[in-house]
Structure 1
């Protein structure tokens, strides 16, 4: 447990440029307090001291504004930045090096089984190593967000996310290009480090607008020809005259 707490302190120092010392993080960072409480609550939960585990998690929620169910599985070097409003459900699984921002929900959906059998059924997402989830994002259901993926702010993710991609929008769609290996290892605050990040919906709308504009110009040309048929006739007469001029008399 204490080894995990040391790793969590190091994670904050690596990813938050505002952190000046481990002592400051340990005393003043609610995200660190929440994960420290969770390490204790999860230990109690795994020893079947379920009530005590929930009690510790509720104390942590009151103190930090972050709700982590004691049954959630969280790996090493976990970092919750700012943290207020973060919710992590019971069957959520989080790998190593994961970063969450404020108001993120790793939420569950009702499993398609009888209500009497819902205990211990996987209902919450799995986040693989080095995933970054931006503020306000909702990751819902027993889906998998694969390694080094990034979830943009306020995105709603309800399907599996491939490795090394960035998801934005409601419902979330893949944005921009797939991250290179170098970019995957580099931390990006709020998950938006790629310079070419763009909203896929915006790209689609831009393409449609370009098509509409070209069609509109063509319609205007056809309307002008319909309103002034002499334009078409003059074009034909001009072609006829040029042809007659080129004839060779015999």
Structure 2
């Protein structure tokens, strides 16, 4: 449909103002909608997916914020809201917010599933469909079978201690219990703060379990270097998502 409108404009069948109006209506009609709030989708300079709602008045801004809150989404960890330097209102879903909606979709929430489907369609049009979190929540037990390693992760626990996020995976291998600890901290960078963690992986069992939990990771001198993308994988486990969100909310504190 967008291509058809573009052709009409090129042929001067419609003027620029009409073209802009029709394109705007088209994009709005297909916009991912959550709690009655429509989000415009774009790609940031960093390559990350951006989902932003731009209400045209303070009243609509307040209504949209309240609608999201009524669905259990929290301002800060799940979405940010405010005004730009030019005075325009905005509501932006954060990455943890998108992950939370994806988790709900995986748990059977029809509204969340519809939003993720719409978001994936828009992202596909932009060529970045993989940037949308999959609508699935990960569950335990988690079987790990790699090479000579055979283990089962039975429990995941998360806690915040002295400003750090500690995640502990309890597992069993060869009939013996074990535990793998992952501690994330905020590290100051040129662009602000970034989530970082280092985990010793000299033990092949722990190395295999860590890979099963977070995916591929770089390692130097027997230590795995973990970043936000690894934390996002851990957050997909429903039992620790809320604690992870609470820690993410401390980023600028």
Of Structure 1 and Structure 2, the greater helix share is in 1
Larger radius of gyration: 1
Bin of the TM-score, shorter chain as denominator length = under 0.3
TM-score, L = length of structure 1: 0.26
Of Structure 1 and Structure 2, the greater strand share is in 2
